[in-house]
C-alpha cells in the first residue's frame, strides 16, 4: 500500500455524498438517530438501500437489534440537525419533534424525503458493518424540491443551482 488511512480518507473525500439521519425506535421505546454519509441505493427490485456503521459506534448493538428504521434525507438547511445527530450523546433528540411513520419509525420533519425500511441483511465491511435495508414506504415531504445537503472533503457544501445540467 502506498497510502495511510489519512490519505485514503482524503482521497475518498473528493467523492461528494448526501447526508442522512437514520432513525429508529428500539423495542424498549428508545429513539435512536445517527448522521451518516455512507448511504446509497443498491437495488430497485427488490427495493434495497445500504448504509454502514463504524464498529466503534456506541449505538451499534442497538442498531443491529432494530428491525425497522427510517432514512431521513437532509436538506441544505439542516446542517445543525446533522451535527446534532453526529454527537455521541443520549440528548440527540432533546427538543426535536418526530412524526410517526406507517411502520412506527420516528420520521424527522423538514427532510427532503424519508424512507421507512426493514433490516434485510448485515455484512462485514472491515471497520464498518454494512446494513442492507428493504424500503417499505416512501414519505415525500412538501419541500421535496429543496436542495440536498452535500458532504465532501470533510465539510458541508451547498449546491449552487436549481438547474440540472442538461448537457449530457
Ligand atoms: C456528515 C457525517 C457523516 C457521517 N457518516 C457516518 C457513517 O456513514 N457511518 C458512521 O458510522 N458514522 C458516521 N458519522 C459519525 C456518526 O454520526 C457518529 O459517530 C454517531 O452519531 C455516534 O453515535 P453513537 O455514539 O450514538 O453511536 C458521520 C458524521 C457526520 C457529521
Structural domain boundaries enclosing 43: 5-157
Which of 15, 49, 54 to mutate to test ligand 1, by most ligand atoms within 8 A of the CB atom? 54
Ligand 1 center–CA 145 separation, angstroms: 26
Question: Residue 36 domain-assigned?
Answer: yes
Q: What is the mean pLDDT of residues 56-65?
A: 97
CA of 167 to the centre of ligand 1 (A): 35
Residue 166 lies in a domain: no
Closest ligand 1 atom, CA of 60?
A: 27
Structural contact between residues 151 and 19, judged by C-beta atoms closer than 8 angstroms: yes
Percent of the chain at pLDDT > 70 equals: 94
Concatenating the DSSP letter of every residue in 117-154 gives EEEEEEEEETTEEEEEEEEEEEEE-TTTTSPBPEEETT
CATH number at residue 57: 2.30.110.10
Are 116 and 126 a contacting pair, CB within 8 Å? no
- Flag whether 164 is in a domain: no
Q: How many whole angstroms separate alpha carbon 64 and alpha carbon 122?
A: 8
What was the pLDDT predicted at 19? 98
Domain count, the chain: 1
Digit-coded pLDDT (tens) for 39-57: 999 999 999 999 999 999 9
163, part of any domain = no
Q: What nine digits make up the cell of 22?
A: 437514520
pLDDT tens for residues 106-141?
Answer: 999 999 999 999 999 999 999 999 999 999 999 987
Asked if residue 12 is part of any domain, the answer here is yes
> Ligand 1, residues 16, 35, 59, 128: which to mutate, most atoms within 8 A of Cβ?
35
Amino acid at each position: 500500500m502506498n497510502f495511510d488511512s489519512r490519505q485514503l480518507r482524503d482521497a475518498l473525500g473528493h467523492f461528494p455524498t448526501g447526508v442522512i439521519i437514520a432513525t429508529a425506535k428500539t423495542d424498549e421505546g428508545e429513539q435512536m438517530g445517527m448522521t451518516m454519509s455512507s448511504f446509497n441505493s443498491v437495488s430497485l427490485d427488490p427495493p434495497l438501500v445500504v448504509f454502514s456503521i463504524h464498529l466503534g459506534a456506541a449505538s451499534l448493538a442497538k442498531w443491529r437489534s432494530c428491525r425497522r428504521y427510517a432514512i431521513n434525507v437532509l436538506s441544505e438547511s439542516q446542517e445543525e440537525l446533522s451535527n446534532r445527530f453526529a454527537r455521541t450523546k443520549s440528548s440527540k433528540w432533546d427538543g426535536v419533534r418526530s412524526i410517526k411513520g406507517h411502520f412506527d419509525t420516528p420520521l424527522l420533519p423538514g427532510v427532503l424525503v424519508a424512507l421507512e425500511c426493514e433490516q434485510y441483511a448485515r455484512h462485514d465491511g472491515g471497520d464498518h458493518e454494512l446494513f442492507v435495508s428493504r424500503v417499505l414506504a416512501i414519505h415525500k415531504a412538501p419541500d421535496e424540491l429543496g436542495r440536498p445537503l452535500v458532504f465532501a472533503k470533510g465539510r458541508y457544501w451547498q449546491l449552487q443551482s436549481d438547474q440540472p445540467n442538461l448537457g449530457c
